[in-house]
């Protein structure tokens, strides 16, 4: 759609969507859709640390991360991320935080390291009960300093 192309309906591409194509194209060209697209583009440019998981995202990487964690545990290493919430941990791993063969972590840059330190501090607060995360105010949102779903 962005480059003006249309699915090849003759080859059977997206057969259930053909009936909706004209309405879709019309909406994508509307002022509302263009405004939303502009906001989304600006937001994506503000992302200082985009994930580095490739085109399949977390789906491919989660088993790799879990395997590495299990290998460390089997070697008798207790990674400092034990007990961290999965959302925060995966966010950091997707930005190239890595486990070392001891209980330490490696970071690709200072921004990821500082974020991990904020997550670790918040996880300690969760453990001692001084911070109670909820759906919209979780550890990762606090560490990033933003609401998960701003209005």
Cα separation of 149 and 90, whole Å? 19
Indicate the pTM of the whole model: 0.66
Checking if the pLDDT of 1 tops 60, the result is no
**Per-residue pLDDT at 60:** 83
Residue 135 phi/psi, 5° resolution? -55, -45
In the chain, how many H helices and how many E strands? 6, 2
pLDDT in tens, 67-76: 999 999 899 9
Outline where DSSP puts E strands in 17-145. 98-99, 105-106
pLDDT in tens, 75-107: 998 888 988 999 999 999 999 999 988 888 999
Checking if the pLDDT of 117 tops 90, the result is yes
Q: What is the largest CA-CA distance in the chain?
A: 61
Give every CB contact of residue 49 below 8 A, 6+ residues apart in sequence.
Answer: 95, 111, 112, 115
């Amino acid at each position: 759609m962005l480059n003006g192309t249309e699915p090849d309906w003759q080859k059977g591409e997206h057969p259930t969507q053909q009936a909706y194509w004209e309405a879709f194209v019309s909406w994508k060209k509307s002022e509302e859709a263009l405004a939303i697209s502009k906001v989304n583009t600006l937001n994506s440019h503000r992302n200082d640390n985009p994930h580095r998981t490739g085109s399949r995202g977390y789906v491919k990487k989660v088993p790799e991360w879990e395997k590495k964690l299990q290998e460390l545990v089997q070697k008798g290493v207790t990674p400092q991320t034990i007990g961290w919430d999965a959302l925060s941990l995966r966010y950091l791993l997707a930005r190239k935080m890595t486990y070392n063969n001891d209980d330490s972590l490696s970071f690709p840059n200072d921004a990821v390291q500082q974020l991990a330190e904020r997550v670790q501090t918040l996880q300690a607060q969760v453990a001692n009960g001084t911070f109670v995360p909820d759906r919209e105010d979780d550890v990762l949102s606090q560490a990033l300093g933003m609401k998960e779903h701003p209005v």
